Amino acid sequence: MTTQFTDLDLRPELVQAVAALGYTEPTPIQAALIPVMLTGVDVIGQAQTGTGKTAAFALPIIQNLQPGERHVQALVLCPTRELALQVAGAITEYGNVQNVRVLAVYGGQPYGPQISRLNRGVDVVVGTPGRLMDLIERNAINIHHVKTVVLDEADEMLSMGFVEDIETILAETPVERQTALFSATLPTPIRRLADKYMRQPQSIQVQREQVTVAAIEQRYYLVNQADKLVALTRLFEVEALTSALIFVRTRVGTGELANELSRRGFPAESLNGDLTQEARERTLNRFRQNQVKVLVATDVAARGLDIDDISHVFNYDLPDDPEIYIHRIGRTGRAGKTGIAMSRSSASRWRNPPCRPRKISRPAAKTNCSKTSKSG
C-alpha cells in the first residue's frame, strides 16, 4: 500500500494545503523524512531538486511553528538567490493556512526592506549565507531562538565557498536546535560539517531511480555535429513551443547559440556566469514574463531557476552525468504541466540514450523515444 499524506502525522490543515496544490501522494523523500523530522531529530537527506525535498522539510517546519512568536523560528540556508526565492515561495504556499510569515534574504537587494520586514516579525527566514552574515553583522536579525536550521543543497554551498559563513551562522543558533541537511552528494567536507554540528543525524536517501520527473516526454535525435543548429531550428518550427531552455556546455557557447538562433528568427537570450546579477535578473524576468521564449544556459547558470512552465528542454550539448540529465529535464513538466525533453547525440557518443527504459518512478514518466537519424 502506498503512503498517503494522512499517514505522516501532519495536521489536517497541512494535508489539505498540499491536496489543494494537487499533490495526491507524498514523494519518497516526503514519506520517509516528514515523520522523522516531526520528532525533532537531526536529519541528513540525500536528495536533489525535483524530488519534493522542499515540502519534505517545509511541512514539518510549519507544523512545529508557534504562531505569532517574536523571534525567527526557522532558518533555511540556500546557495543561490533563485533557490532562496523558490523555497520561500513554497513555504509561503504550504503555510498559507497558518499565515506563516516567510522572508527571503539575499544579496544584490537593498537592506532596508529586508530589515523592516525582520523588525515586523518573521517566522521563517530563507537566505543565502552571504546576506545572512551581513544581516547578523548589522544586528538586523536575531537567530538565537531558531528551532530548526535547514542547509539546503549543502554541497553547492560548500563548493561556492560558503563553509565558514555557514559555521558562523550555525554558531549563532541554539545548540539544541534541530538541523536538517540536504545534499545531492555527501563528500568529506559535508560529513565533517555534519559531524561537527549535528547530533546523531538520521540519514534518509532517495534512490537515484526515485528522482521524480513529472510527466515528461523524452526524445532523442541522432544528428551530425555540423547539423545540430539546423536540427534545432527545425524542431522549433514544428514544436508547439511556448518556452524553451537549451543547455550547452560552456559560457561562450550560450552566447554563440543565442546569437545564431536570434539571427535565424528565434529571439534567444543567454544565461551564464559572466552576467552581472542585474543582467541575470533582467533576463530571467523577461523569460518569466514570456517576453523571450528561448533561454540558452549552462548547468551552473540554470541552477535554482524558479520557472515552472518551461514547455521544452533541449540538451544541445549532452551532459556526461545521467543525474545532470535528470536535473535538466526536470525543469519541464513542473507544476503539474507536461513537458518535452529533447536530446541531441551523435551516433558514437551515446550507445545508451537516456530515454532507453530508465526507471523513473512517480509520477509515471511518459517515455517516448523517437529517433531521427541523419548521421547513419
Closer residue to ligand AMP, CB minimum distance, 10 or 166? 10
Considering only residues 54, 63, 128, 283, which one is a binding residue for ligand AMP as defined by CB under 6 A? 54
Q: In the bound complex, what is the minimum distance in angstroms from residue 64's beta carbon to ligand AMP?
A: 19
Under 8 Å between Cβ of 8 and 31: yes
What x-and-dash track marks residues 1-40 binding ligand AMP by CB under 6 A?
----------------------x--xx--x----------
Q: In the bound complex, what is the minimum distance in angstroms from residue 346's beta carbon to ligand AMP?
A: 32
Distance between CA atoms of residues 33 and 359, nearest Å? 22
Q: In the bound complex, what is the minimum distance in angstroms from residue 339's beta carbon to ligand AMP?
A: 12
Q: In the bound complex, what is the minimum distance in angstroms from residue 208's beta carbon to ligand AMP?
A: 15
**Restricting to residues 265-294, which ones interact with ligand AMP according to CB under 6 A?**
none
Q: What is the DSSP letter of 310?
A: B
> Which of 170, 183, 212, 191 has its CA nearest to residue 45?
183
CA atoms within 13 A on the CB side of 243: 19
Closer residue to ligand AMP, CB minimum distance, 335 or 347? 335
Closer residue to ligand AMP, CB minimum distance, 31 or 132? 31
Closer residue to ligand AMP, CB minimum distance, 234 or 337? 337
| Distances from the Cα of 243 to the Cα of 4, 291, 308, 313, angstroms | 34, 10, 10, 9
Return the residue matching grid coordinates 559560457: 251
Q: In the bound complex, what is the minimum distance in angstroms from residue 58's beta carbon to ligand AMP?
A: 8
* Dihedral sign from CA coordinates of 285, 329, 327, 93: positive
Options 46-54, 62-70, 115-123, 135-143: segment touching ligand AMP (CB under 6 A): 46-54
Q: Does 73 bind ligand AMP (CB under 6 A)?
A: no
Q: For the chain, first and last CA: distance in Å?
A: 47
Closer residue to ligand AMP, CB minimum distance, 33 or 258? 33
**Restricting to residues 203-262, which ones interact with ligand AMP according to CB under 6 A?**
none
| Residue 178, C-alpha cell as written in the block | 534541530
Distance between CA atoms of residues 61 and 90, nearest Å? 12
**Restricting to residues 317-336, which ones interact with ligand AMP according to CB under 6 A?**
334-335
Considering only residues 33, 55, 211, 232, which one is a binding residue for ligand AMP as defined by CB under 6 A? 55
Q: In the bound complex, what is the minimum distance in angstroms from residue 311's beta carbon to ligand AMP?
A: 15
Closer residue to ligand AMP, CB minimum distance, 2 or 139? 2
| Distances from the Cα of 135 to the Cα of 37, 138, 290, angstroms | 28, 5, 34
Q: In the bound complex, what is the minimum distance in angstroms from residue 122's beta carbon to ligand AMP?
A: 21
The stretches of the chain forming alpha helices (DSSP H) are 12-20, 28-38, 53-63, 81-94, 111-120, 129-137, 154-159, 163-171, 188-197, 228-238, 251-263, 277-288, 299-302, 322-329
Q: In the bound complex, what is the minimum distance in angstroms from residue 303's beta carbon to ligand AMP?
A: 12
Q: Does 52 bind ligand AMP (CB under 6 A)?
A: yes
| SS3 category, 103 | strand
Q: Does 198 bind ligand AMP (CB under 6 A)?
A: no
Closer residue to ligand AMP, CB minimum distance, 23 or 350? 23
Distance between CA atoms of residues 275 and 295, nearest Å? 14
Q: Which residues bind ligand AMP (CB under 6 A)?
A: 23, 26-27, 30, 49-55, 334-335
